Amino acid sequence: MVEWEYPSEKDKMSAVAQMDSAVTKDTTEGWVWHSLKMDKKDYAEFPSDKPRKAVSLLTDDRYDCAFCNGTGEKPRGSVCSVCKGKKRVQLKPPVVKCASCKGRGEEKRGGNITCTPCRGKGYVSVVEPVEVCSTCNGIGRNRGSSLACVQCKGIGVITRKEMG
C-alpha cells in the first residue's frame, strides 16, 4: 500500500475533493503529483474541512422579490423585470434561499443583473429530500471560481437519492 503525503492539510483536502491527484515526497524532485483512484470506502478516511450546513426548507408560496427588495422597481422608475412590478414572487414549496446570490437576487451586490440560478427571485423551489451539495459544500460556487457549481447548478443543495 502506498502512503500519500501532502504539503498541507488544505492540499490533502483539495486532492481528495478532486479525486484524481495526490502528491508524494520525492527527495530528488521535491513534491510530485500522481494520479489517484479511490473507492467510496476511502472517503471516510479524509474528513471534510468544513462541517456541512443544515438545509433550511421554507414552506411559504409567496416571497418579497429579492431583486427589487419588494419595491416593484429596479432600477428606480422602471418596472422590476423579475416580479413585473407586483413586489412579490410566487414559488412552489418547498424552497431554499439561493446559495449563489445569498438570497439577494442579483449577480453582484448593487448590480442590475439577475442571479442565474434563482432568476432574481432569491429563492429556488426544490424537490425533497434535499442535502447540502458535497461538491461546493452548499455555497453554490466552486472554490476559486465565480461560476455556478455544476452539481447543484448554484442552488447549494441537491435532491438526495433514496436507496432501495
pLDDT one-digit tens code per residue, 64-120:
999 999 999 988 889 999 999 999 999 999 999 999 999 999 988 877 899 999 999
Judge if 55 and 39 occupy the same domain: no
d(CA 155, CA 62): 19
Whether 155 and 124 have beta carbons less than 8 Å apart is answered as: yes
Task: Please give the backbone phi and psi of residue 9, each rounded to the nearest 5 degrees, phi first.
Answer: -65, -35
Give the residues across from 132 on adjacent strands.
Answer: 157
Q: Give the range of the structural domain holding residue 149, as residue numbers without chain letter.
A: 50-164
Q: Please tell me the pTM assigned to this model.
A: 0.63
Instruction: Quote the mean pLDDT of the chain.
Output: 77
| Digit-coded pLDDT (tens) for 13-58 | 555 544 444 555 555 555 555 444 444 444 433 344 445 567 789 9
Q: Break the chain down into helix, strand, coil percent, rounded to 5.
A: 10, 25, 70
Instruction: Flag whether 4 is in a domain.
Output: no
Instruction: Flag whether 3 is in a domain.
Output: no
Judge if 30 and 60 occupy the same domain: no
Judge if 121 and 145 occupy the same domain: yes
Judge if 95 and 38 occupy the same domain: no
